[in-house]
A and B are shown apart, each in its own frame.
Chain A
């Protein structure tokens, strides 16, 4: 990996790492009585390990100029491996917190093992660790192919990738120590936030530099979505995390916002995190990998552009549907509700565009589990956005808010849409990246597919049931006008569903582990011999669907 860097890039890398070591040292010293001190040591340890890696490779010759005739795929490969590693960890912790809800005694009276600390490890692990790495890895792949341009340099993609993973690591370890600023999906504290800004701006600049090198006048639509993801996440992250730290030696900070403004800023962030992290980026993935794998152009390129602008402009105003019946002014709630309902149009046109692209390739969907992952993702995308628009209607939200229905919705989106499209994209790109004939085992992809689908269905249906029962129990009155059920009554009712949910999660986790094994074996397997390797980028047989299903 370091061998791919030119001499001057290796020097710049050393300077960056040295600076990082010093920053770590400062935190370690200033924060010796605070959890931030531990993070200081962690930052130092990572930076020093990387310094060793760079130095030990310094004897290696510089990369040859011929490299410029190929795409730069190391960062995509590392990103995919990291994404799968985070998926395994994040989903394992997810299974654990699911068990905790069913069997609360499993905390063992340890602070770090309490639900409140483990839950964000799960959410950040899967959203940022798994989803984020997959987005970065595939965006590097897609931006290069669609622009027919190599990444402009070797260092900044690695900086983005490793810098981002350092952020994820700080986040996850921080939660276990109790570091949080209590903003959902934005829990990491000020120093991690500042670091992410640096990494993210580098990412944005890298993307723009690559696009600037393209030869095609038109930028393929997948890039629009990826770019919206990068750009808007930068904006959201900076605004929502504006805060004043207590001091250099303290992890704690105070938000610039308070009261209902704070709530609105947080859910403007939170909903657009759904929109631009969990939707726009993955739509970019879908608009590239699905047509590519199906071997057919997009059903309607025009429709993809209309949905793009629809999604970007409508989502921005929808966040207030998270704050129905709160101190937020009524008209802001109504605005959020209206925009959420309108959002159904571009969302469904994106889902329909994907499914219609498959017309004429349904035999491939039948035979090829990779393409089927993407097809199911599009279906769940349609389902989740319909549900979302429905939940955003104020009287519906009166029933669903605070219940497991929201959790069911989230996981129809996260498992059914985000994870499925990612697995599809990963299974498609692994053989292409490592120049293999195909995945190690097509049968194991099939196994993964069925575990994932079964797990998602068990999960989502149990949460729908549980949520609606909860909502109804909380609003049932006796003839005397008092509540018929106490909160604990509803909790007891939930118990079987929580067990079912854990089982669904276990299915999904097993599928992911099967995927990790399959990818590992593919990477370790033999590359196509150079003689038979086609001149092209993608090994020829990998595109044609050729798994014998019968």
Chain B
């Protein structure tokens, strides 16, 4: 640990890699979680109707 630069390199090469992999896995799990399917389908349809006025 001789310079901030070396520390930075170390962090990018270790933590950076796993952080990115963990993040990708988290996103994929969220997206493909079966019970989320209905929510997504609904959201995609929702902009096409029923936007007439604010709910209150």
Q: Are A and B associated in one complex?
A: yes
Docked complex Cα distance between A413 and B27 (Å) = 28
Q: Are B53 and A71 in contact (CB under 8 A)?
A: yes
Q: How far is the CA of A434 from the CA of B46 in the complex (A)?
A: 23
Please determine whether A218 and B43 come into contact, CB atoms closer than 8 angstroms: yes
Q: B residues 5-37 with Cβ under 8 Å of A?
A: 5, 9, 12, 20, 23-24, 27-28, 30-32
User: Contact at A306–B31, with CB atoms within 8 Å?
Assistant: yes
Bound CA–CA A313/B22 (angstroms): 12
Task: Determine the distance from Cα of A313 to Cα of B9 in the docked complex, in whole angstroms.
Answer: 19
B2 contacts A by Cβ under 8 Å: no
Q: Does A292 contact B (CB under 8 A)?
A: yes
A537 near B27 with CB under 8 A, answer no
* Given A309-B27, A313-B20, A313-B23; A301-B52 close (CB under 8 Å): no
Q: Whole-angstrom distance between the alpha carbons of A152 and B45 in the complex?
A: 25
User: Are B54 and A68 in contact, with the CB atoms below 8 A?
Assistant: yes
The verdict on A297 contacting chain B, using a C-beta distance below 8 Å, is yes
How far is B12's CA from A222's CA once the two chains are assembled, in angstroms? 31
Verify A309–B23 contact, CB threshold 8 A.
yes
B1 sits at the interface (CB 8 A): no
Q: Are A150 and B54 in contact (CB under 8 A)?
A: yes
Of A140-148, A373-381, A402-410, the stretch lying at the interface with chain B is A140-148
- Dominant SS among interface residues on chain B: helix
A70 in contact with B30 (CB, 8 Å): no
**When chains A and B are docked, how far (Å) is the Cα of A149 from the Cα of B54?**
5
Q: Within residues 116 to 150 of chain A, which ones have a CB less than 8 A from any CB in chain B?
A: 144-146, 148-150
Within 8 A of A (CB), among B35-56: 39-48, 50-56
Give CA–CA (A216, B46) in the complex, Å.
9
Q: How far is the CA of A307 from the CA of B53 in the complex (A)?
A: 30
User: Closest B-chain residue to A219, C-beta based?
Assistant: B43
Tell me the complex Cα distance, A361–B45, Å.
16
Known: A295-B48, A302-B32. A335 touches B40 (CB 8 A): no
Give the residue name and chain of the B residue nearest to A145 (CB).
B51
Say yes or no: A291 contacts B47, CB within 8 Å: yes
Instruction: Given A302-B31, A305-B27, A305-B30, answer yes or no on A288-B47 (Cβ-Cβ < 8 Å).
Output: yes
Which chain B residues lie closer than 8 Å to A220 at the CB level? 43, 46-47
Confirm or deny: A221 has a beta carbon within 8 angstroms of a beta carbon on chain B: yes
- Contact call B9/A298, Cβ cutoff below 8 A: no
A295 to B40, CA, bound (A): 17
Q: Which residues of B contact A109 (CB under 8 A)?
A: none
Could you give, for residues 194-233 of chain A, a 1 whenever the CB lies within 8 Å of some chain B CB and a 0 otherwise?
0000000000000000000001111011100000000000
Contacts of B40 in A (CB 8 A): 218, 301-302, 305
Tell yes or no: A105 within 8 A of B by CB: no
Q: In the complex, A3 Cα to B54 Cα: how many Å? A: 21
Instruction: Identify B31's interface contact among A71, A305, A536, CB under 8 A.
Output: A305
Which residues of the other chain, B, contact A217 by a CB distance below 8 angstroms?
39
Q: Within 8 Å CB of A535, what residues of B?
A: 52
Interface residues of A in 274-302 (CB under 8 A from B): 288, 291-292, 295-298, 301-302
Chain A residue nearest to B43 (CB atoms) is A218
Whether the Cβ atoms of B20 and A149 lie closer than 8 Å is no
Contact for A329 among B5, B47, B54, B56, CB less than 8 A:
B5
| Min CB–CB distance B35 → chain A (angstroms) | 13
Cβ 8 A contact of A537, one of B51, B55, B56? B51
Partner of B48, one of A150, A292, A306: A292
Q: Which of B45, B46, B54 has the most CB of A within 10 A?
A: B54
A70 to B12, CA, bound (A): 50
Within 522-550 of A, Cβ neighbours of B (below 8 Å) are at: 535-538
- Residues in A neighbouring B39, C-beta threshold 8 A: 217-218
- Residues A537 and B42 in contact, CB atoms below 8 Å apart: no
A residues less than 8 Å from B28 (CB atoms): 306
Instruction: Tell me the bound Cα distance from A306 to B9 in angstroms.
Output: 28
A292 to B49, CA, bound (A): 9
Q: Are A69 and B53 in touch, CB under 8 angstroms?
A: yes
CA distance A331 to B43 in the complex (A): 42
Query: In the complex, which residue of chain B has the Cβ closest to the Cβ of A331?
Result: B9
A145 engages B27 (CB within 8 Å): no
* Structural contact, A70 and B54, CB atoms closer than 8 A: yes
Q: Nearest Cβ distance between residue A142 and chain B, in whole angstroms? A: 9
Report the minimal beta-carbon distance from B8 to chain A, rounded to whole angstroms.
9
Q: Residues of B contacting A329 with CB < 8 Å?
A: 5
A382 to chain B, nearest CB (A): 21
Q: Is the Cβ of A218 less than 8 Å from the Cβ of B54?
A: no
Which residues does chain B contribute within 8 Å of A309, judged by CB atoms? 23-24, 27
Q: Which of B20, B44, B54 contacts A69 (CB 8 A)?
A: B54
Tell whether, in the assembled complex, residue A146 and residue B47 are in contact, meaning their CB atoms are under 8 Å apart.
yes
* In the bound complex, CA of A329 to CA of B13 (Å): 14
Show 28 A/B contacts (Cβ-Cβ < 8 Å), sorted by A. Answer: A69-B53, A70-B53, A145-B47, A146-B46, A148-B50, A148-B53, A149-B55, A218-B39, A218-B40, A288-B47, A291-B44, A291-B48, A292-B48, A295-B48, A296-B48, A297-B48, A298-B44, A301-B41, A301-B43, A302-B31, A302-B32, A305-B27, A306-B27, A306-B31, A309-B23, A329-B5, A535-B52, A537-B53
The 8 closest A-B pairs by CB, nearest first: A297-B44, A301-B40, A536-B52, A150-B54, A301-B44, A309-B27, A145-B51, A302-B31
